[in-house]
Amino acid sequence: MNRQQRTKLIEYQTRAFTVGTIEFINDQWVFFDKETEEAALLDEFLHQEIEVYRMKRWRKGVLFEEGKVTSPDEVLILKDKDTIRIRKLLVFSLEKLLDEINDDAFFQFITTLNSMKFSIYDCIYCYNQLNFLSTSERKSGVNFIIFDNQEQICNIQHHFSYFEKTNDRFEFTLNSGKRMIIEKISS
């Protein structure tokens, strides 16, 4: 699995976006989150990629001042009541962990998480012990990750040992008591 395949697997996760509508109020664009109904100034997302729903499809571009969304092909001018979506950011320590594990462990972790109806964007907490072992030749420990998909909670313990052999063991436990364990050992 190369970097592009990893990126694609992350890119197509469910619940990867915050979706809502925008309104022009008091000379400012205000974003209303569809799910939480919270309001935020759209200026908070300046120079980030957003998507605007126009003509029955999502159009990607970078948000600039004065409600301009620029893509390589076009410049969209935002309109009152436009539906937009903004890609959520991953929890930083989870993002680092995903970068550090090998391809097989990465694929097994993501696909198992998805099979349990969770997305990596459902992560609410990640403790990444690997961050503290970057200079160690022998790396072993446990990472703790918690996901919430609004229906269930999933706690994951990632036991790892990287020395002569690479060993990744993921223990998934749902709040219902259901458990799943996957292990990847390679030399």
- Phi then psi for residue 98, to 5 deg, are -60, -35
Q: Which residue has the tokens 């012990």?
A: 129
User: Residues 36-65: pLDDT tens digits?
Assistant: 999 999 999 999 999 999 999 999 999 999
Per-residue confidence at 134, pLDDT binned at 50, 70, 90?
confident
Q: Are 35 and 19 spatial neighbours (Cβ–Cβ below 8 Å)?
A: yes
H helices of the chain, where?
Answer: 3-11, 92-100, 103-115
pLDDT at position 185 = 80
- pLDDT, average across residues 91-109: 95
DSSP 85-98: EEEPPPPHHHHHHH
- pLDDT, average across residues 130-153: 93
Other beta carbons less than 10 A from residue 138's beta carbon: 9
What is the rounded (10 degree) CA torsion for 169, 113, 118, 45? 80
**pTM recorded for the entire structure:** 0.86
